[in-house]
Amino acid sequence: MSRLLPGCQRYAAGQFFVGMQRRPTPFDFSRTPFIDPKPAHTSLTGSPPNAKFAVMSVPFIFGEALALGLASGPACMASCGPVLVPSLLAERAGLRLNTRYLSAFLGARFLGYLLFATVAWALGVLISLPSAPRMLLFGVVHVLLAGVLLWYAYSAGRTCARSCASSELVSIGVTKKRGVPGAAALGFLTGVSLCPPFVAAGVRAAGLGSMAAALLFFAVFFVGTSVWFVPFVGLGCVARNEAVTTVARMAMVLIALYYAYLGFAMLIGRKVYAY
């Protein structure tokens, strides 16, 4: 691995941070594949190899997770956009309300990330989930996503029919009810979907020494990707009227149909492309 990242090898050889003591860290990063312990034994300093690696690798790995998140952000945005944009537009206008919606969405998405990472780590399948359970899992996730979107579209219609009063699902803008089930459900389901940036982070996190380290990696990665979602708050400035709400609801139905197709195709083990 050190051949892949020569910069890491330089750190591992202790050329810059000679003689630093190992600090107690809650996470063990000594098994990170970025740092090959073997060359460290030949270090000129003669100090225990893992001490320096751990000290050096913590900020490095978190920096890497952040950078990976920031770099993957557009792909995350593209992946979650079909769910997030119409559902945000179906909500009421206002920066504050949209910020709350987005917070709920991202919070639940974060939980989805962590849950997926935890389970996948525990099962030892973070890098490569076997085909059959993967198809089953993502088939179910897509069908659920389609179901929630359809329900959301229906609820948004009811909401508007009652002068934007609350309904059981779309309740972001209601002051009395602070429930956020719609945003949370969509956020969670997009969190457990296997989008390409998530796979990239999973491959990297799988090489870390412990589950806690992997989860922390995911958390920092998530922060990096979430920066790209901030502009979505700006949709709160779009004036809401019957036209915007109807367009958002119709778009949600179309997207839901596509997800339903994907989900069912995965569940019955069919290819999702014609070629």
Partner 1 sequence: MPTKVEMLKLAETPPRTIGRSLLLTLPIALWSLLMFANPQRHPNRSMQIAGMITAVFMIALFFMMMRTRSTYRWRRWFFVALGILFPVGFIHTVIAMRGTMGLPIEEMIAGRTPFCYMPIPLLILPAAFTKSLVFPGSISGMAGMAGLWLAVTLVVGKGWCSYACFFGGIEEGMASVSPRAKVRKIDPRWRYGPWAVLLAMVLLSLALFEPAYCMWLCPFKAVSEYVAARNTVGMVQNGIFIVLFAGLVIALPLLTKKRTQCAFFCPFGAFQSIFNKTSVFDVKIDRARCSPCVLCKTACPTMSLTDESIAKGETLMSCMKCGACVDACPKNAVVWHIKGTEIANKPERARLMFLYAAWAMAVMFGGSIITEGLGTILHVFV
Interacting residues toward partner 1 by CB under 8 A:
74, 78-79, 81-82, 85-86, 89, 242-243, 246-251, 253-255, 258, 261, 265, 270-275
Which residue number, 81 or 107, has a Cβ lying nearer to partner 1? 81
DSSP code of 162?
Answer: T
Which residue number, 174 or 267, has a Cβ lying nearer to partner 1? 267
d(CA 223, CA 221): 5
Beta carbons of 28 and 61 less than 8 angstroms apart: no
**Shortest Cβ distance from residue 76 to partner 1 (Å)?**
10
Tokens of 269: 């083990």
Which residue number, 96 or 270, has a Cβ lying nearer to partner 1? 270
Which residue number, 138 or 217, has a Cβ lying nearer to partner 1? 138
d(CA 201, CA 72): 9
Which residue number, 82 or 182, has a Cβ lying nearer to partner 1? 82
d(CA 236, CA 172): 13
Give 197: exposed, middle or buried? Use CB within 10 Å, 0-12, 13-18, 19+. buried
Which residue number, 85 or 164, has a Cβ lying nearer to partner 1? 85
**Shortest Cβ distance from residue 274 to partner 1 (Å)?**
3
**Residue 72 corresponds to which amino acid?**
S
**Shortest Cβ distance from residue 237 to partner 1 (Å)?**
17
Q: How many residues are given for the chain?
A: 275
**Shortest Cβ distance from residue 73 to partner 1 (Å)?**
10
**Shortest Cβ distance from residue 250 to partner 1 (Å)?**
3
Handedness of CA 32, 35, 36, 41 (dihedral sign): negative
**Shortest Cβ distance from residue 246 to partner 1 (Å)?**
5
d(CA 92, CA 94): 7
